[in-house]
Chain A
Amino acid sequence: MDCREFCDQHVAFVDDTLAGIELVRMQRHLAECESCAKHDAKIRRALLLFRNLPSIELSAGFSQRLEARLRECDSDHLLAVTQRNLRRGAIAATLASAVMLGYIGTTLYHHTDAPRDLVMAPVVATMPEPELTPITTSTPAIVASVSAGLTIWPAALFAEQAPVRFAHSRLELTNYTR
């Protein structure tokens, strides 16, 4: 081992963290090299002085001051939490209002549209076609009445409806001939 290597390993040597073989090599070099031995002694003596410095003690009011600051910290925290909650509440209220307004707005908008939705499709009113009673010459009642020689009512009725019947017959005849 040379002096350079000794110096490189010196931190671990002083802290006693070297592996067995390395430790032996360092100790051997220390015994052989006067310069490194002096360096080692100088470092150890300086460290001894520093490590033996008296401990600084806390001032008398330290604990009270710390306690007061922790209480202050608690109250600050409480205040911050309250403010945060209030802020959250305000935000929630604003959001709720916005939702409500949106709902109202939408409702109103749809309300104006509602009649449009409810309007039925336009209906074209038409007069129902006059349904003619299909009385033919072969109406069973007339046939029956004639053959049975019953009252003349069917004949009277027939006579009364004769113009219509004739017209209807003519129309049918026209239709057929077309």
Chain B
Amino acid sequence: MADIVRKKAVSVEGPSVRERLQAMDDSAVVTAFLGGEERAFSELVTRYQTRLLNFVYRTIGDREKAEDLVQEVFIRVYRHLHRFDRSKKFSTWVYTIASNLAKNELRNRSRNPLVLFQAVQKNFEDDDRPLQFEDTTSRPDDMYRKRHLREIVEESVAKLPEHHRNVFVLRELEGKSYEEIAEITECNLGTVKSRLNRARNSFAEIIAPYVD
């Protein structure tokens, strides 16, 4: 691959390359990658993998599939980074790819009634779940209550309509601005605010009986 040859040829030498890459903003890392520094791509993966996994997982509710989709996001980024308009934010572009893949997954799933969001979430065995939500110093009944609460929150999010959930996750979990969400979801600003308002109200309504 000519690109790889080029990348290797222009590779930045030195022991502190990773540190330098870590200190750069996304745009500079992208430029470094396109300039031939292959380690820059690993830096981008490191920066976004967990965030994207959480975003996709909260959108589709299937952890394994979410990992597959995140991998697909990086494959697409790797293939098409040279086409990326560098006047725009890299994170917005990455989230747009992830959002579109998640949307496609939900669309495909809706055509197959056997796989539902809630059903997929139920398949996520308790033993496989990370326990960060629980405080290990707590009493077992507290841990159970917290785990139960977490399930309730996840189920409540899952009950939101897909287009509301997407906006909701981008705002509440990823902290994206309204403008970025508008760009990612390809909606206008008014639609984003309206969807976010509805999503918040719906979520609060769904979860209220469990937390009151």
User: Which A residues fall within an 8 A CB radius of B?
Assistant: 7, 10-12, 14-15, 17, 42-43, 45-47, 49-51, 53-59, 62-63, 65-66, 69-70, 73-74, 77-78, 81
Known A43-B201, A70-B75; contact A50-B53, beta-carbon cutoff 8 A: no
- CA of A177 to CA of B84 in the docked complex: distance in angstroms? 108
Interface positions, chain B 171-206, Cβ under 8 Å from A, are 171-173, 178, 193, 196-197, 200-201, 203-204
How far does the alpha carbon of A7 sit from the alpha carbon of B198 in the complex, in Å? Answer: 11
- Asked if residues A56 and B133 are in contact (CB atoms below 8 Å), the reply is no
Q: Is B130 an interface residue (CB 8 A)?
A: yes
A-B contact pairs, 26 of them (CB 8 A): A11-B197, A11-B200, A12-B193, A15-B171, A42-B208, A45-B211, A46-B207, A46-B208, A46-B211, A49-B149, A49-B207, A49-B211, A50-B153, A54-B133, A56-B53, A56-B54, A56-B57, A56-B66, A57-B53, A58-B49, A58-B50, A62-B49, A70-B78, A74-B4, A81-B1, A81-B2
**Minimum C-beta distance from A78 to chain B (A):** 5
Q: Is the CB of B200 within 8 A of A14?
A: yes
Across-interface contacts of B157 in A (CB, < 8 A): 50
Of A12, A43, A46, A62, which is in contact with the most chain B CB atoms at under 10 Å from its CB?
A46
A124 to chain B, nearest CB (A): 73
Instruction: Let me know if B74 is at the binding interface, CB within 8 A.
Output: yes
Chain A proximity of B19: nearest CB distance (Å): 20
A residues near B197, Cβ cutoff 8 Å? 7, 10-11
Bound together, the chains give a CA A103 to CA B175 distance in angstroms of: 68
B204 touches A42 (CB 8 A): yes
Residues on A with C-beta less than 8 A from B173 are 50-51, 53
Distance from B178 Cβ to chain A, minimum over Cβ atoms (Å): 8
A49 to B196, CA, bound (A): 16
Partner of A46, one of B4, B78, B79, B204: B204
In the complex, which residues of chain A have a beta carbon less than 8 angstroms from the beta carbon of B79?
73, 77
Among candidates B66, B71, B133, B149, residue contacting A66 with C-beta atoms closer than 8 Å: B71
Beyond the given pairs A51-B173, A70-B75, 4 more chain A to chain B contacts, judged by CB atoms under 8 angstroms and listed by A's residue number, are A42-B204, A46-B208, A56-B53, A70-B74
Judge whether B71 and A77 touch: CB under 8 Å: no
Contacts A46-B211, A53-B133: A59 and B78 contacting too (C-beta < 8 A)? Answer: no
Tell me, in angstroms, the Cα distance from A10 to B63 when the chains sit together. Answer: 33
CA distance A82 to B128 in the complex (A): 44
Give the chain A neighbours of B75 by CB distance below 8 A: 69-70, 73
Known: A42-B208, A50-B203, A81-B2. A56 touches B172 (CB 8 A): no
Residues in A whose Cβ lies below 8 Å from that of B43: none
Task: For A79, give the chain B residue with the smallest CB separation.
Answer: B1
Smallest CB gap from B55: residue in A: A56
- Residue interface bits B18-52, CB-to-A below 8 A is 1, else 0: 00000000000000000000000100010001100
Does A53 contact B78, Cβ atoms closer than 8 Å? no
Distance A33 CA – B49 CA, assembled complex (angstroms): 44
Chain B residue contacts of A54, Cβ below 8 A? 130, 132-133, 150
Which A residues are in CB contact (< 8 Å) with B4? 74
What are the residues of chain A within 8 A of B71 when measuring CB–CB? Answer: 62, 65-66, 69
Pair B196/A11 contact, Cβ less than 8 Å: yes
**What does the 1/0 interface line of B100-135 toward A look like (CB < 8 Å)?**
000000000000000000000000000000101100
* Closest residue of B by beta carbon distance from A14: B200
Q: Answer whether residue B154 sits at the interface, using C-beta atoms and an 8 A cutoff.
A: yes
Q: For the complex, what is the distance from the CA of A94 to the CA of B3, rounded to whole Å?
A: 29
Given contacts A54-B132, A69-B71, whether A47 and B200 have CB atoms under 8 Å apart is yes
